[in-house]
Structure 1
C-alpha cells in the first residue's frame, strides 16, 4: 500500500512529514541527528567505533545507489563524504563529549558544508538532466533532418542546373499528408526574384521525375528575398474525393471552402468584398463546382443565395426540389433563397438586388457609424446576398437585347453594392479575351477558378491569371481539377470535391433551420417580387414537368368537360406527330377550351359569376380584350400547340381562322405577344420565320 502523506496543522503552520529534504533541511536533519546520537550515546556509554561503522555502511550504500542511478561522481562523492563526516564527528563526540563549544561549532561547520555540497550537486544534476534531454533531441533532429538535408542538397543542385541560380535552403517542411514538402530558401543577391524559379515549373518537375499531376511550384516567401517551393510527390488530384460530410456552420467572414490544394489543404474564399469568376468548358466539372459553391453558401448562417440560370434553372433546381417534396415531416426551406430561370425572373431579381442595396445605403448609416466602418456589418440578422449567375460572363458579352438588359443590371450590382453586402459569382465556358474583356470583371473578380479538365481550347490561363507563371493545362487533366487563385493564395493547382444529388438533399435538410431571413428593411425594398418568389404561379415550371414527359402508361384523356385525372393541365390530346390539323379543328379547339375551363376556370360564360382562380397556371394573358376575339385567340393557340416541334407561321394560322374573320396582322400580334411572355419561341427570320409552342421548343418548356 502506498504511503499516505500526513499533514499536521499547528498554529496555522502546515507540516508535511512525508516531503523530501532540500539542501537546508537535509543538512539540518543530518547535524541534529548526529548530535542526538552523540548525546544519547555518551549517556549510555556507547562504544565510539559503532558510530564510525554505521557511517561507513551508509556511505557505501549511498555510493551503490548513486551508481545505480547513474549520478555524477561529484554527487556520489558528496553524499559519501557527508556520511563519513557525520559519523566521524559522532565518533569524536562520543569519545570527548558533545557538550562543548568546540563540538557544537564543528558540527555547525559540518552542517553548512553539507548544505552547500547538496545545493551544488543538485544544480549540477539538474544541468546534467537538461543536457541529456537536449542531446536526445539533437540526436532525433539529426536523424530526422538527414532526409531533409539530402532533399535540400538535391534541390539546390537541381535549381542551379535548371534555373541557373544558387539558392540557400533554410528549411524543408514535410507535409503531414506525406504527399510532398515545402522548401524555404534564400535567393541569391543581385535582385533575383522568385519568378526565376516559378517560370521553370515544368522543367523542374521533369528533372525531378515527378509523377503526372505533380509540380514544383514556387511562390513568394516571407520577404522578397525568399522563395517557397511546394513540391508535390503524390498526385492527390487524380482520385475523386466526395464532398465532406461535415455540415458545420460557416460564415462569410471566416471563409467558404471551395476545394483543396495538392497538399490536401482546404482553399477558403473570402467573399465579403470580392466577386468571383469560375471558368470551365463543357465536361470540366463546372456544374459540380457550382454545386460545391452553393453547398458552402447553404452552410453559412449569414448568406442568402440568389441563383440566375437561364438554362432551365438547372443549377438551382437540386437545391429547391427537396423543399417541395412531400412527406418530410417538417418544413424544409430551399437551399437557395431565389431562383430565376427566365429573363423576366432574372430582371425581377436584379432589380430587387439594386433596390435592396440602395435602401441599405440609406437605412443603415447609423449602424455603420456605431460600428465605425464604411462596410455594412454582415450578420445573421443582416445577411449577405450572393448572386450566382451561371454562364453570367456570356450574358455580359451577348448581343441579344434581353441579355444586354440583364448585363447592364449585373454590372450595376457589381459596381455599386460591394459595401452593402451584395456580391456576384459568374461562370463562363472559357477564359477568352471576349469573356475577360470587361474591366469591371477583371477588377472585381479577384477570386478566379479555371477548371480545365485537360481542355486547351479557349483556356488562356495567362488572361485569367496575369501574374501566374508556370501554369500548364496538362497539369490538370482530370475532371474537377484546374487552377484557382485568390488574393490570399496565388494561382496554383487545385481540385474540388464531388457532390451528388443525394448529398445536396442531405445538405438542404441539415441546413434548413440555419438559413437567415432577409432583414426587414431589405425585404421591404425588395418588394412583392421578392415576397412572392415561391408562389405557385411562379414555380409551377419546377413541378409541371411531370405533365409533359412522354408516358406510354398514361391513361386515355378524360371525356370532354371533365378535369384531367392528374390534377394539372392535360394536353395529351393535342400532341400529335401527324400532319397539321384536320378539318375537325373546331372540335379540338372546343375540347382545349373545356379542359382549361374545367381545370383553371379562366373563361366563364357571360352572365355567370366568375369562379375564383386557384393558385397555379394563369392563362389570363391569353384572353383577348374583347369577347369576340377570345375564341379566335384560343383557336390560334390550339393551332400553335398542334403544330408540334415543326412550328407554324402567322399566315398558316390566319388561313385556318377565316371563319373568325381574323387577319394575318392580328395573328402576328398574338404571336409577338406570346414570344415576349415565353408562351412561344420564334425560330428563323424573314420568310422562314416560324413559331413553336414552349412545350415543343428545343430547350423544353419554360415559364411564361
Structure 2
C-alpha cells in the first residue's frame, strides 16, 4: 500500500516535478515530492492495488491495518521532528489510518464493487483537500515565523536607534543650545557610523548653528581621533543631517581598487572614500577641479589617482603639464614607451600628451585653445541636432582634461614668461567648458594668493584639500567658503583631507594609495580604451599635436636623467660635480632701495660666500686662477655661486644662516623678503626643500613646529654661530 504523503517543506514547481531531455521530450522526476493531487492519487491507487492483490491471493486483511498503523506512527514522529503544526500531524496520521481501514474492508468485502470504488474516490478527494488546506496553513505559519523574527530584529535595532536619538538630542541641546526632534537614525552599512535626520525648532534656527559646533559635539561624544560629527542641510531648510563617524577610517591606507573597468566623465570618476566607506565621485563635464596639499600630504599620489580615473574613462583625453621634469606624467608614459621612441607592442600611454618644459606647455595650450575654438565653429550642426549648448562628449568626441601640476602657482607667478603661460591656462578655462575642455589644477596650499583668482573660484567647484596635519597655508575657510566646523587636525594622516563637490558638501575623505605597479597595470589594461581626437579637432591641432610622440620630442623621457636637458648645459657633461657657477653675473644687485643698501648687500654677500667657500671648498668660478702650488682644486665640489643671479634666494639663505641654532621657517623668511623682493611663501618653500635635499639646511621638528636650521648650526655639526 502506497503512503499518502504530501511534501510540505518545499513548494512544488515544474522544475522539481519534470525535467527536459536533450531531444525535448518530458521525463518523470522520481525524486520530486508529492503535492495535494499527486499525493491523494498515489494513496488511493496504492490502496486499491493492495486490496485487489490481497483479495486475489487470500492475504490476511489485518496486515493492511498493521502497515497503516506503522505508517501513521512513523509520519507522526517525523512531523513532530520537523516541528510541523498539529493540523498537519493529524492529517498525515488520519490519511494512513483511513487508507489502511479501507484496504482492510475492501479485502474482506471485495474491492471491485461500486460501493468500494465510490468510497475510495471519496477518500482520495478528502485526502487531497485536507493536504491542500494543511499546506496553505504551513506556508502561512512559516511566513509568520519569518515575520516575527524580522520584527524581533527591528525591535532590537529600533531600541538601539532610540537610544542613539535620545543621547544626541540631549547632546545637541547641551552643546549647541538647540532642541531638535530626531526623525530617523540610519546605520551605515560599513558599520563605521550613522546619520541622524533631525527636525530643527521653529524660530529661525538653521543647520549651521549645529555645524559650527562640530568639534565640541565630537568631544562631548568622546569620538575616536579622526572621527567627527558633521552637520549638513537636510531635505529642506528646517531639517539637518548629522553624520557621526565612530570608526577612524582615515588612518588606514586604502589601496586603489583593482577593478579597472571602463568609466565615463558623464557618470562620475572615483577619487577616494568618505568616512562612511562610500566612494567620492566627481563629475567634471562642466566643472574644473582644484587639489591642494603641502609637501608630504599625498598630493602627488592624489594626482596619480586622478590620472587613473581619466585613463579608465572612454571619453577623456588627458593632457598633463608638469614643469617639474614631467614627474606627474612620466609613470603613465614609461610602460608604453620603448627605448627607440616607439610604443611597446602598440601600447598607448596612460596620458595623451605630456609637457615638462615651458615651450612644450605653450605648444600644448595653444593647441588646446585652437581645438576649442574649432569645435565652437565646426559642431554647430551637432549642437542644433541635440538641442543643446553643451557639446555631446563621447568616445568619438572626447573631453580634453588639462592637468597642471602646481598650476595654481603658475597662475599667481610674477615671472613674465610664466604669466604668459597663466594667461593661456585662464583662456582655456574661460572658453572650453561648453566644448568639452576642463582643467585640474594642483597647489601647495589653500592661501589667498592661490584662491584669489576669480576664474579659479568660479570654475573649480570640485575641491580637495589634503592636509597631512599641516596648518600653515591651509585656510579651509577660503578653500570651502560657507562650510563650518572643518579643522586641519581632523585629518592629520597622509592621503586624508577634505573634499567638496557641487553634489556633496565638504567633508572628510581618504585618497587611495596607488602603487607604481598599479600604474603599469592600469596603463596596460586601458591602452585599447583611450579615445582618439576627433577629426575636426585633430585638423585644428595640426602637426604640433600629431608629432607629440616623435622620438626627438620624447628623447628626454627616455633619458636616464628622467628630464629634459636644461638650456645652456654643456653637452659633454659637467665633470661629474654640481657646478652652479654658470649663472654667475658680474653686475651688482640692483633691487636695493638705494646705494647704501646696495653696499650692505655686497658686504653681506661677500661675507656669506667666504663662509661657504671656507666650509665646502667650492668649485672655482670662471676666470678664477688656480693656486700656484698644491694639488688642483676638485671639480666635484659644491658651487653655490649660481645664486649670484638670484639675489632673493641669496638673501633667503643669508637669513637662514643668520637665524642660528634656533632656525626659522618659510613664513618668516618670506616676510623678511616680501618688502624688497616680493617673494612668496611658496617660492621659499621650494628653496628650503632643495636646500634640505642637498644638505644645506636641516629640517627640525614636524607639523606646525617644523623649522629649518642651516647645516652649520644643526645639532652635531660643531659649527659656530
- The residue that corresponds to 2:428 in the other structure is 413
Residues 479 and 118 (structure 1), Cα distance of their counterparts in 2 relative to 1, 3 Å cut: closer
Residues 124 and 331 (structure 1), Cα distance of their counterparts in 2 relative to 1, 3 Å cut: closer
Q: Is the 2:468–2:496 contact (alpha carbons within 8 Å) kept by the matching residues of 1?
A: yes
- The residue that corresponds to 2:481 in the other structure is 466
Selected match of 1:209 from 215, 222, 246? 222
CA drift of 1:242 comes to 4.8
Matched, 1:158 2:171: yes
- Within a 5 Å distance, the mapping from 1:323-334 to structure 2 comes to 326=339, 330=345, 333-334=348-349
SS in 1 for 2:505: strand
Selected match of 1:544 from 565, 589, 600? 565
1:503 & 1:551 partners in 2: Cα distance?
A: 38
- The residue that corresponds to 1:257 in the other structure is 270
CA drift of 1:211 comes to 2.0
- The residue that corresponds to 1:181 in the other structure is 193
Residues 213 and 525 (structure 1), Cα distance of their counterparts in 2 relative to 1, 3 Å cut: same
Q: Is the 1:48–1:92 contact (alpha carbons within 8 Å) kept by the matching residues of 2?
A: yes
Selected match of 2:623 from 580, 592, 614? 580
2:63 & 2:335 partners in 1: Cα distance?
A: 96
- The residue that corresponds to 2:492 in the other structure is 477
Which range moved further: 475-484 or 95-104?
95-104
1:549 & 1:243 partners in 2: Cα distance?
A: 41
Residues 64 and 420 (structure 1), Cα distance of their counterparts in 2 relative to 1, 3 Å cut: same
Residues 331 and 553 (structure 1), Cα distance of their counterparts in 2 relative to 1, 3 Å cut: farther
- The residue that corresponds to 1:114 in the other structure is 127
- The residue that corresponds to 1:423 in the other structure is 438
- Within a 5 Å distance, the mapping from 1:628-643 to structure 2 comes to none
Residues 58 and 354 (structure 1), Cα distance of their counterparts in 2 relative to 1, 3 Å cut: closer
TM-score, length of structure 2 as denominator length: 0.67
SS in 1 for 2:472: coil
Q: Is the 1:295–1:504 contact (alpha carbons within 8 Å) kept by the matching residues of 2?
A: yes
SS in 1 for 2:291: strand
1:215 & 1:512 partners in 2: Cα distance?
A: 41
CA drift of 1:387 comes to 1.3
User: What is the total number of aligned residue pairs between the two structures?
Assistant: 565
CA drift of 1:275 comes to 0.7
- The residue that corresponds to 2:598 in the other structure is none
Matched, 1:27 2:40: yes
- The residue that corresponds to 1:360 in the other structure is 375
TM-score, length of structure 1 as denominator length: 0.68
- The residue that corresponds to 1:284 in the other structure is 297
Q: What does the per-residue CA deviation read over 1:14-65, in whole Å, with 9 as the maximum and x for residues that have no partner?
A: 7667654433343344445555666666677777666555544443443334
CA drift of 1:119 comes to 1.8
1:522 & 1:269 partners in 2: Cα distance?
A: 26
SS in 1 for 2:508: strand
- Within a 5 Å distance, the mapping from 1:236-385 to structure 2 comes to 236-244=249-257, 247-311=260-324, 313-320=326-333, 326=339, 330=345, 333-370=348-385, 373-385=388-400
Residues 543 and 113 (structure 1), Cα distance of their counterparts in 2 relative to 1, 3 Å cut: same
SS in 2 for 1:487: coil
- The residue that corresponds to 1:491 in the other structure is 506
Residues 460 and 91 (structure 1), Cα distance of their counterparts in 2 relative to 1, 3 Å cut: same
Residues 577 and 517 (structure 1), Cα distance of their counterparts in 2 relative to 1, 3 Å cut: farther
CA drift of 1:493 comes to 1.1
Q: What does the per-residue CA deviation read over 1:584-633, in whole Å, with 9 as the maximum and x for residues that have no partner?
A: xxxxxxxxxxxxxxxxxxxxxxxxxxxxxxxxxxxxxxxxxxxxxxxxxx
Q: Is the 2:18–2:27 contact (alpha carbons within 8 Å) kept by the matching residues of 1?
A: no
1:117 & 1:431 partners in 2: Cα distance?
A: 79
1:56 & 1:498 partners in 2: Cα distance?
A: 73
Q: Is the 1:181–1:231 contact (alpha carbons within 8 Å) kept by the matching residues of 2?
A: yes
1:155 & 1:497 partners in 2: Cα distance?
A: 32
- Within a 5 Å distance, the mapping from 1:644-655 to structure 2 comes to 646=644
Gaps of 5+ in 2: 1-15, 557-562, 579-617, 626-640, 647-675, 678-689, 692-721
1:40 & 1:536 partners in 2: Cα distance?
A: 98
CA drift of 1:422 comes to 0.9
Q: Is the 1:243–1:498 contact (alpha carbons within 8 Å) kept by the matching residues of 2?
A: yes
2:45 & 2:434 partners in 1: Cα distance?
A: 82
1:413 & 1:362 partners in 2: Cα distance?
A: 16
1:56 & 1:540 partners in 2: Cα distance?
A: 96
- The residue that corresponds to 2:609 in the other structure is none
- The residue that corresponds to 1:531 in the other structure is 546
CA drift of 1:324 comes to 5.8
Q: What does the per-residue CA deviation read over 1:62-121, in whole Å, with 9 as the maximum and x for residues that have no partner?
A: 333433333222222223333444444555566666676665555544443333222212
Matched, 1:67 2:80: yes
CA drift of 1:319 comes to 4.5
Gaps of 5+ in 1: 555-574, 583-642, 649-683, 686-697, 700-704
Residues 392 and 83 (structure 1), Cα distance of their counterparts in 2 relative to 1, 3 Å cut: closer
CA drift of 1:448 comes to 0.7
1:146 & 1:52 partners in 2: Cα distance?
A: 57
- The residue that corresponds to 2:458 in the other structure is 443
SS in 2 for 1:489: coil
1:321 & 1:35 partners in 2: Cα distance?
A: 86
Which range moved further: 73-82 or 164-173?
164-173
- Within a 5 Å distance, the mapping from 1:184-195 to structure 2 comes to 184-188=196-200, 190=202, 194-195=207-208
2:274 & 2:463 partners in 1: Cα distance?
A: 15
- The residue that corresponds to 1:630 in the other structure is none
Q: Is the 2:467–2:496 contact (alpha carbons within 8 Å) kept by the matching residues of 1?
A: yes
CA drift of 1:384 comes to 1.6
2:314 & 2:247 partners in 1: Cα distance?
A: 36
1:512 & 1:293 partners in 2: Cα distance?
A: 17
CA drift of 1:309 comes to 3.7
Q: How well do the aligned residues superpose, as a CA RMSD in angstroms? A: 4.2
Q: Is the 1:6–1:18 contact (alpha carbons within 8 Å) kept by the matching residues of 2?
A: no
SS in 1 for 2:544: helix
Residues 162 and 531 (structure 1), Cα distance of their counterparts in 2 relative to 1, 3 Å cut: same
| Structure number, greater radius of gyration | 1
CA drift of 1:357 comes to 0.8
Residues 64 and 362 (structure 1), Cα distance of their counterparts in 2 relative to 1, 3 Å cut: same
1:7 & 1:257 partners in 2: Cα distance?
A: 47
SS in 2 for 1:182: strand
CA drift of 1:581 comes to 7.6
CA drift of 1:525 comes to 0.6
